[in-house]
């Protein structure tokens, strides 16, 4: 991990800790470690991968232990669950109510959160016109990130 990336993770972790403290949320050592591992992951990370990541520090734990920590982190907006991958990413705007869409690279797994209510609102308002009652919205777009798209183009190809 680069120094800049490590500094960004430290800032985001400090922000999460401050948010938890100001809202009287118990960011236990395990929850903090799970959140830090999600931050450090370069792509969405699943519960079993989190277990493996945490094993050197915490030893083997039952999956329910990590799932409880994940439930807390999702419920309080620290992380988002990527439905299509049953994996988790850190929220880019802790403490700011928002709905998110996700851009996910099929090749490298990089995932970018795009916060914003406009698309979600448009879909929610359009659904009743089609006789559809929305219970939950999940917007996940898959494709290629800029790096993978560039790497996939033949040399000399023009855009």
Binding residues for Zn(2+): 105, 108, 145, 148
In angstroms, the CA 131 to CA 129 distance is 6
Two structure tokens written together for 153: 């183009």
Partner residues linked to 87 by β-bridges: 82
Q: 25 and 74 in contact (C-beta within 8 Å)?
A: no
What six digits make up the tokens of 150? 């560039």
Scanning 59-127, the segments in alpha helix (DSSP H) are 63-75, 118-126
Please classify residue 157 by burial: count the beta carbons closer than 10 Å to its beta carbon, then call 0-12 exposed, 13-18 middle and 19+ buried: exposed
Give the other-Cβ count within 10 Å of 51's Cβ: 19
| Pair 44, 111: CB distance under 8 Å | yes
> Which residue ranges are tagged as binding site?
105, 108, 145, 148
């Amino acid at each position: 991990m680069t120094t800049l990336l490590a500094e960004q993770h430290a800032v985001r972790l400090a922000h999460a800790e401050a948010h938890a403290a100001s809202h009287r949320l118990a960011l236990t050592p395990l929850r903090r470690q799970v959140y830090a591992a999600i931050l450090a992951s370069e792509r969405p990370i699943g519960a079993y991968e989190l277990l493996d990541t945490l094993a050197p520090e915490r030893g083997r734990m039952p999956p329910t232990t990590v799932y409880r920590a994940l439930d807390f982190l999702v419920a309080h907006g620290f992380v988002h669950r990527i439905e299509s991958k049953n994996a988790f990413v850190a929220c880019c705007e802790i403490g700011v109510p928002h709905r998110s869409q996700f851009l996910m690279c099929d090749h490298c797994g990089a995932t970018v959160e795009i916060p914003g209510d406009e698309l979600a609102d448009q879909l929610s308002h359009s659904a009743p016109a089609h006789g559809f009652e929305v219970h939950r919205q999940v917007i996940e777009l898959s494709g290629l990130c800029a790096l993978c798209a560039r790497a996939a183009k033949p040399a000399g190809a023009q855009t």
